[in-house]
A = this chain, B = another copy of it.
Amino acid sequence: MDDPYAFRLDPQLEKDTVNIADWHLCEVRLMNDSRYPWLILIPKVPDIAEIHELAEEQQHLLLGESVRLSKALDQLFAPHKLNVAALGNMVRQLHVHHIVRFEGDASFPQPVWGVGDAVPYDADALRETVKGLQIALDLL
């Protein structure tokens, strides 16, 4: 029988994103929007909406995984800027965006949320992007 208290990925996050890796605290997922390299960390802890609701040890794990992801994105993409954000206005389940930004991207210098519509990767591009990210993340 399913454990009713177990972590379950929010259905909206599941629909919009693709699994890249399972780390100690977080699931690492890619937003299916080819306009930006856009990764999301989701702590696999049930019923958490805010970083400060995590146990202190989990907060430090989240920080470590966020820094690991940020460094990998930095090496892979050499961004103008990273946007790192836990908003949750639409989806309450705690999730931390890590978005690679370039001057001249689809919404720069504005934030990405609510600007235009997502442009899903085609099947080949998605496969290659996922593979490239998995290789880069394994190295860090």
- Asked if A17 CB lies within 8 Å of chain B CBs, one says no
Q: List 9 A-B contacts (CB under 8 A).
A: A51-B70, A52-B66, A81-B87, A82-B86, A82-B88, A85-B85, A89-B101, A89-B108, A111-B113
List which A95-138 residues lie within 8 A (CB) of chain B: 101, 108-111, 113-114
Interface status of A71 (Cβ within 8 A of chain B): yes
- A139 at the binding interface (Cβ < 8 Å): no
A88 CB to nearest chain B CB (Å): 5
A interface list, Cβ under 8 A from B: 49-52, 59-60, 63, 66-67, 70-71, 74, 81-90, 92, 101, 108-111, 113-114
For the complex formed by this chain, how many copies does it contain in all? 2
Can you add 19 more A-B contacts, CB < 8 Å, to A63-B63, A83-B85, A85-B85?
A50-B70, A50-B74, A50-B82, A51-B70, A52-B70, A52-B82, A59-B63, A81-B92, A83-B86, A83-B88, A83-B89, A84-B85, A84-B86, A85-B87, A89-B111, A90-B109, A110-B114, A111-B111, A111-B114
